[in-house]
A and B are shown apart, each in its own frame.
Chain A
């Protein structure tokens, strides 16, 4: 709008064809680059067609003004109608150009990374885009018609044909009103069709996922039905996988977040040792060197639980993380042991849990549970303390 205003002002002062031309030139490189732009983001292309039309209009204006300066001139009444008409025509032409009309082609088939299957996306024009094209076409037509009327009116022809023109205008408005519901219905139908297409696409994706994961696991389970341990492990792994898929969580980042690292350690121990590990983590913090030591110690405690106490029920990890620090409890319901008389084979535990925590400024406590079992309490202040 600012530019248009500037042009209007400039016209009054004459000798401004150059300015209008410069502006047009500023707009128009987009038209030269149209071929490559068709592959760019859709939004910029849409703006592009308006800009091209604007550029064409300004170019026409500058040419007209140039003619006027040069004295090859017949009537000032031509300037605005011709400028408006060129704007409208440029808009309409832009619509029929192949580079612009196939704007949605770059909806390439999406590759499903996890299965290697390609689910082809429907290559059809987006109805939202269709509606925008439609409004652009309407605007272009209105501009051209308006320009014609303006020209006729400015030349006095309209006075004679006044009644006819009025009648034509009324008929046009009436036609527009009559056909409005049809256009509206068309847009609505396109929207409905589009959401239906998206739904069926999603269904196909869900089916593909279930096929690749759950059905495969069920087939494995049937083949291994004589090995309950293996079946339980398979079911558990599949459950975890499906659960995270359904929850649509963002990918865990065990190398960056403490909560993810602890859950990852639980999963790892579960898969390595075949024991069931239940992890409940409250809060989260960024993983640093000291929290990394905490994760290692927790992993060691879980591993010990899985080795010595897997028959007593699930090994449980509970972690509470806040600004002040993190506390982790690992409980098992195994035979338990007396920390005062740590057997020789548990020396590793001492070193890898208690020693590791102390070296990083944390604490570790091992004690017997209330009714047998072992509990390990790990505590590490955050870096700020």
Chain B
């Protein structure tokens, strides 16, 4: 799986946006196909088997979360990177909890997007500064000691530190430099945070996931 040009399927109901992403990615990423609705997306992903699915959060017919859930049954190893114009905490948390390994906003530049795709393909998590802020916010605050699952409901001080740097716009290698740890260790911390984000029952996370507002 590692190395070479990663392949993607673009799922978005806006044709202009799909064309834009294609143009931005150029030959850094191989675009296998596109889909503009949930059913076509599930079919295309199962057929084309891309390394990564670039998934719009808001789509008619259930949105990105629906695609994530349906594909999980057919192709559980499929990796997703969520793309959205929204950075509403509820959207972000919902799509990550449904299984996306990263979340970037649509204003991201072509090279940064290609880099994010490669990292998701290689099994890393991609956190935007804003997502890091949400996670710190969601895991902040005390919860009753008897309700804490220390494995899932709390971030380690090191994880918090790493997230703080991501929120400040640092790249992984810059964080590694700052904390004098290896870039691989930084990635391990972020993946661990992603796991907690997906599995924790923390009240804030559930609330955001439940109150998800769809804009379309």
Contact = CB atoms under 8 A, between A and B. Distances in A.
Interface string B180-216: 0000000000000000000000000000000000010
Given A370-B174, A370-B177, A314 B169 contact: yes
Interface string B108-130: 00000000000000000000011
B171 to A, nearest CB: 9
Contacts of B136: 282, 320
Nearest to B175: A370
A49 B105 CA distance: 57
A167 B174 CA distance: 92
A331 B175 CA distance: 14
Nearest to B138: A282
Chain A: interface secondary structure?
strand
Given A318-B164, A318-B168, A283 B129 contact: no
Contacts of B133: 280-282, 318
Interface in A301-337: 313-314, 316, 318, 320, 322, 329, 331
A280 B167 contact: yes
Contact of A370 (B88, B129, B178): B178
Interface size on B, as a range, is 10 to 19
A315 to B, nearest CB: 9
Interface string A369-383: 111000100000000
A282 B137 CA distance: 5
A243 B164 CA distance: 24
Contact of B129 (A243, A278, A375): A278
A283 B137 contact: yes
Given A282-B136, A283-B137, A320-B164, A247 B169 contact: no
Contacts, number: 46
A282 B136 CA distance: 7
Contacts of A313: 169
Contacts of B130: 278, 280
Interface string B6-19: 00000000000000
A371 B132 CA distance: 21
B169 A278 contact: yes
A352 B35 CA distance: 53
A288 B136 CA distance: 24
Chain B: interface secondary structure?
helix
Nearest to B215: A246
Contact of A322 (B86, B129, B140): B140
Contacts of B215: 246
B182 to A, nearest CB: 15
A329 B168 contact: yes
Contact of B169 (A246, A316, A320): A316
Contacts of B170: 331, 370
Residue from A316, A318, A329, A375 whose CB has the most chain B CB atoms within 10 Å: A318
Nearest to A369: B174
A370 B169 CA distance: 12
Contacts of A278: 129-130, 169
Contacts of A371: 174, 177
B208 to A, nearest CB: 13
Contacts of A320: 136, 164
A278 B88 CA distance: 15
Residue from A246, A282, A314, A322 whose CB has the most chain B CB atoms within 10 Å: A282
Interface string B126-166: 00011011001100100000000000000000000000100
Contact of B168 (A246, A281, A316): A316
A351 to B, nearest CB: 25
A247 B91 CA distance: 11
A331 B169 contact: yes
A257 B164 CA distance: 22
Interface in A249-295: 278, 280-283
A371 B174 CA distance: 7
A283 B140 contact: yes
Contact of B88 (A247, A280, A331, A369): A247
A154 to B, nearest CB: 61
Contacts of A322: 140
A370 B178 CA distance: 7
Interface in B73-119: 86, 88
A41 B31 CA distance: 61
A331 B170 CA distance: 9
B195 to A, nearest CB: 21
A243 to B, nearest CB: 8
A369 B129 CA distance: 17
Nearest to A329: B168
Contacts of A370: 170, 174, 177-178
Interface of B: 86, 88, 129-130, 132-133, 136-137, 140, 164, 167-170, 174, 177-178, 215
26 contacts: A246-B86, A246-B215, A278-B130, A280-B133, A280-B167, A281-B133, A282-B133, A282-B136, A282-B137, A282-B140, A282-B167, A283-B137, A283-B140, A313-B169, A314-B169, A318-B133, A318-B169, A320-B136, A320-B164, A329-B168, A331-B170, A369-B174, A370-B174, A370-B177, A370-B178, A371-B174
Interface of A: 243, 246-247, 278, 280-283, 313-314, 316, 318, 320, 322, 329, 331, 369-371, 375
Q: Which 9 A-B pairs have the closest CB atoms?
A: A280-B133, A316-B169, A370-B174, A318-B168, A318-B167, A282-B137, A282-B136, A280-B167, A370-B177
